[in-house]
């Protein structure tokens, strides 16, 4: 299927690795020029080089997207995107009892305020031009809170509520806003949490991975490539009637044991 977005311009946040990179790759393969960001220059530049083989224009911006300065740099590199994929690293795990107000502020700044700020800066231009696709990478925690991730649960649900009305209003102008809720995907982040769980229990990481996969009906983790393909479809000309949705991609894990 031709997604009909060749020549469009996208900002894909936090995209040197993992899910963001999967989205940037899928969009680049569809002929979309991509502006990508991450804090680490080495991985970002390597990713930009690899994406460049698709023939599209790839602009890497080394920045922390959760800062105002970072977002300014990103928007300066691509002031009028047709597509915006909001993403950033997730907040750390922990317990409500031990979180400081600063921990909450950081989580809300990174995973709620940051996507709101980028949406605010781009959505009205998209509406004027009559095409726009905004995808927020959130988490399965939007449907079912995750015990150890209270900071993430709060910030991501906040973002989901914050854009729900705008998603409906913008759709009149062929601009959609949707949330994608990843379950367990095989990325550095997931491998990092498996490693910590393995250390805590004194077992091999393969044991933890085996247990985690066994708890997923599909029997495996998702891949960034299949995540990116779903996002690219949501950004396509064909997806203009899909807005305000929060779409789980979790191998059938929700609503839990059957």
Strand order in the sheet with 175-182: 58-62, 33-38, 9-12, 83-86, 132-137, 175-182, 246-249
How far apart, in whole angstroms, are the C-alpha atoms of residue 94 and residue 69?
28
Q: How far is the CB of 72 from ligand NAP (least distance, A)?
A: 13
Is residue 64 at the binding interface for ligand NAP, with CB under 6 A as the rule?
yes
Is residue 190 at the binding interface for ligand NAP, with CB under 6 A as the rule?
yes
Give the residue with the Cβ less far from ligand NAP, 39 or 143. 39
How far apart, in whole angstroms, are the C-alpha atoms of residue 150 and residue 167?
25
Question: Is-contact 70 13, C-beta < 8 A?
Answer: no
Is residue 17 at the binding interface for ligand NAP, with CB under 6 A as the rule?
yes
Is residue 43 at the binding interface for ligand NAP, with CB under 6 A as the rule?
yes
How far apart, in whole angstroms, are the C-alpha atoms of residue 257 and residue 108?
31
Is residue 20 at the binding interface for ligand NAP, with CB under 6 A as the rule?
yes
Give the residue with the Cβ less far from ligand NAP, 18 or 244. 18
Is residue 18 at the binding interface for ligand NAP, with CB under 6 A as the rule?
yes
Size of the site for ligand NAP (CB under 6 A): 28
How far apart, in whole angstroms, are the C-alpha atoms of residue 102 and residue 108?
10
Binding to ligand NAP in span 128-157, by CB under 6 A: 137, 139
How far apart, in whole angstroms, are the C-alpha atoms of residue 234 and residue 145?
25
Which residues of the chain form contacts with ligand NAP (CB under 6 A)?
14-20, 37-40, 43, 64-66, 87-90, 137, 139, 182, 184-185, 187-190
């Amino acid at each position: 299927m031709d997604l009909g977005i060749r020549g469009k311009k996208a900002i894909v946040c936090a995209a040197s690795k993992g899910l963001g990179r999967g989205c940037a790759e899928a969009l680049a393969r569809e002929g979309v020029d991509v502006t990508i960001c991450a804090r680490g220059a080495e991985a970002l530049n390597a990713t930009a080089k690899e994406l460049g083989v698709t023939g599209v224009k790839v602009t890497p911006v080394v920045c922390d997207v959760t800062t105002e300065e970072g977002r300014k740099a990103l928007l300066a590199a691509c002031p009028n995107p047709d597509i915006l994929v909001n993403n950033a690293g997730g907040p750390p795990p922990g317990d409500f009892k031990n979180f400081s107000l600063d921990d909450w502020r950081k989580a809300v700044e990174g995973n709620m305020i940051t996507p709101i700020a980028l949406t605010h800066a781009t959505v009205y231009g998209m509406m004027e031009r009559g095409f726009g696709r905004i995808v927020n990478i959130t988490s399965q925690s939007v449907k079912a809170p995750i015990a150890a991730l209270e900071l993430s649960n709060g910030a991501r649900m906040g973002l989901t509520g914050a854009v729900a009305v705008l998603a409906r209003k913008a759709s009149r102008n062929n601009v959609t806003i949707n949330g994608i809720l990843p379950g367990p995907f095989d990325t550095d982040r997931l491998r990092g949490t498996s490693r910590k769980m393995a250390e805590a229990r004194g077992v091999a990481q393969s044991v933890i991975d085996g247990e985690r996969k066994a708890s997923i009906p599909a029997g495996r983790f998702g891949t960034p490539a299949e995540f990116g393909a779903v996002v690219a479809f949501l950004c396509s000309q064909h997806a203009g009637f899909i807005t305000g949705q929060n779409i789980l991609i979790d191998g059938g894990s929700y609503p839990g044991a059957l």
